[in-house]
Amino acid sequence: MPHRGVQLSSARKGNTGQRIRCSYHAWMFNLDGSLDRIPASEGYDGTDLKMDAPEFQVQRAPRADNYRGFWLASLAEEGPDLESHLGYTKTAFDQLIDRAPGGETEVVGECFHMIQQSNWKIFLENQLDASHPGATHESTDVAAMTVEREMRGVGNEPPVAYGFLSDFARLGIDGWGKFGTVGHPQGHCTLEGYSGIAPRRRRH
């Protein structure tokens, strides 16, 4: 927000009501970002505060656009348009929407939160590293294979989620060499071939 840079909302879902209230000094903003009221405003007498001054309104992102229903905003005044920025990585959105019933997706439940106590580049590198799953996740993968075997032994088909884990072990450490990381011009990266390990289900 324009006053001391406080985050106006940390909630990941819900409704703000008629106004947005800053939790630090209770400044009130309309939903369009304009400053509505300030409690104990006399405390700002003699300062440069003007209720209608642009610098005291919540600033809009200079640019916003959507691709396949996913909205993204840019804080830069100039730069490539969204589709140019996404480039090849548009395929991730395309696959998600094209496979969805009716061509729509829905966010169900809470988001997955992770706190990474390191440089963000190390975290990104880990997500794109195709050499470690067969070794690092080996015990989980073998456990998933054991559950699958036990379930099939009593005539039950295990949930598809187990297959994503057990396939890691089936590939083994050397098997992951067939995947590769590709860097794209706008800084995006993709792990090529990963979706190919999706478990195959029986057709009825």
Question: 98-118: per-residue pLDDT in tens?
Answer: 988 888 888 777 777 778 788
Percent of the chain with pLDDT over 70: 94
Half-sphere exposure of 14 (CA within 13 A, CB side): 8
Q: How far apart are CA 118 and CA 132, in angstroms?
A: 18
User: Could you tell me which residues are beta bridge partners of residue 126?
Assistant: none
CA distance 51 to 45: 12
Query: pLDDT digit string (tens) for 28-64?
Result: 999 999 999 999 888 888 888 888 999 899 988 899 9
CATH 2.102.10.10 in the chain is located at 1-60
Q: What is the dihedral of CA 196, 197, 202, 204, to 10 degrees?
A: -30
Burial of 173 (0-12, 13-18, 19+ CB in 10 A): middle
Q: pLDDT of 131-190, one tens digit each?
A: 788 888 888 989 999 999 999 999 999 988 888 888 888 887 888 777 878 888 887 888
Strands 180-183 and 28-30 turn out to be unpaired
> HSE of 128 in the Cβ direction (CA atoms, 13 Å)?
15
Fold of 1-60: Rieske Iron-sulfur Protein (2.102.10)
Mean local confidence (pLDDT), 119-141: 83
pLDDT, residue 200, reads: 53
pLDDT at 1 (0 to 100) = 65
76 contacts 62 by C-beta, under 8 angstroms: yes
The reply to whether the predicted model has a pTM over 0.75 is: no
